A and B are shown apart, each in its own frame.
Chain A
Amino acid sequence: MIQSVTRQLLIGSVALFILLVLSGCATAQADPAPTGEAYTFHGLQYDPVEAAPDFELFDHHGQPIRLSDFKGKLVLLYFGFLNCPDACPLTLSTWSVAYRMLTEENDGNDLNSDDLRFVFITVDPERDSPTLVRKHLDLFNTDFVGLWGTVDDVEDIARSYNVFMQKVDSESAAGYLVNHTTLTFVIDQNGQLVLAHQTDITPAELTADIKQLLQ
């Protein structure tokens, strides 16, 4: 279904794209909202919001962790894998810089304990052990949550978020790669999916969205 939808949308998008180009590229670039005006979130907004599918996975201690354990906190959720040295660290790095910016603005106080969780789920559980996931995330921020599950469980969860993941053979000495959706899902304090951020979001934009949602 998605494919046929995409085809229809492509046709519509091309027409709209031409309009955008004609109206000038500058208008298509996102600008920070001037003060006094309504805040504009970055990325894609869920309208209306919808309940984030709950799941249970495991941390590096083997402790079961459910998404619903984080109710009352803002959750950023990303599906990635460790043998992905380029795209996945891009998001983790953006998170890391944003987290540092938020902590600095909070007089150096940790935001993570009360308000915020950054959650990474490996889409390559066969190669990424829970311990390796932990070590990898520690390169960016020791507060980031790393979750692991069986291939079947992770596939089910990915599907519930419309996340595409597919193992592909490669000529690389690194072995197979996993093509995957690189959206970050933003889940509010009530467990509702509100935003999906793309990899090109800047730390400043991410920080602004988080502050707005934590207000």
Chain B
Amino acid sequence: MTYLHKLTILLALILLSLPLAACGERDSESVDENHMAHTANHNTGTVETATEAVEHGNLRLETIWSRPSLAAGNGATYLTITNEGQDEDRLLNIQTSVAEVAEIHQSKSENNVMTMEMLPDGLPLPAGKQVALEPGGYHIMLVNLQQDLTAGDSYTLTLHLESAGEVDVQVEVIQQ
């Protein structure tokens, strides 16, 4: 590519990403504005889970799903957490029997280069806000899966929250 082509493509990249960042509130939306939380995925269409939202203290947990994944490999869990309370909470860590370890990660894309970071201090859940763990953003990374995750199956995840304590949720394995 010539210098000029690179310039054109880079400029297009930046221009495309900026309006998205400005117009779409991906990571947290106010509870008042968004009570219809059954679209977990802005990128690949809608994910609909069969299970109903789990209410735990001031938290509502919903749209909890994984893609099919292979034993001995890694996987990811997605969900939407709404903090309906007056105080911030925090997702501290996660346990599940289907993986050796479950970690909280964040994917970030800059100039179309994807990087992934672990959040060792957990994920803040601001009061009155909805935090979506969804493809291309926050997710729970399942390291060294102990079994295949097959479409149609479900498994249990135990979430440990700073204020709300411990809660078990069922994760649906969904083939998109």
A interface residues, Cβ below 8 angstroms from B: 1-2, 5-6, 9-10, 12-13, 16-17, 20-21, 25, 28-29, 44, 46-47, 50, 82-87, 89-90, 93-94, 96-97, 132, 135-136, 139, 162, 164, 168, 170-174, 177, 179-183, 196, 198-200, 202-204
Contacts and interface: CB of A to CB of B under 8 A. Distances in A.
Given A93-B176, A173-B100, 14 more contacts: A1-B3, A2-B6, A9-B7, A13-B11, A17-B22, A28-B22, A44-B13, A46-B9, A90-B136, A139-B67, A164-B113, A170-B117, A174-B141, A199-B109
Contacts of B15: 13, 16-17, 20
A109 B59 CA distance: 47
B14 A9 contact: yes
Interface string B23-58: 100000000000000000011110000000000000
B113 to A, nearest CB: 5
Contacts of B19: 17, 20-21, 25, 28-29
Contact of A202 (B11, B20, B45, B112): B45
Interface of B: 1, 3, 5-16, 18-20, 22-23, 42-45, 67-70, 73-76, 100-101, 103, 105, 107, 109, 111-118, 120, 135-136, 139, 141-144, 176
A89 B74 contact: no
Contact of B114 (A2, A9, A182): A182
A194 to B, nearest CB: 13
Given A139-B68, A181-B113, A173 B1 contact: no
Contact of B135 (A12, A89, A136): A89
B134 to A, nearest CB: 9
Contacts of B5: 46, 50
Contacts of B176: 93, 96-97
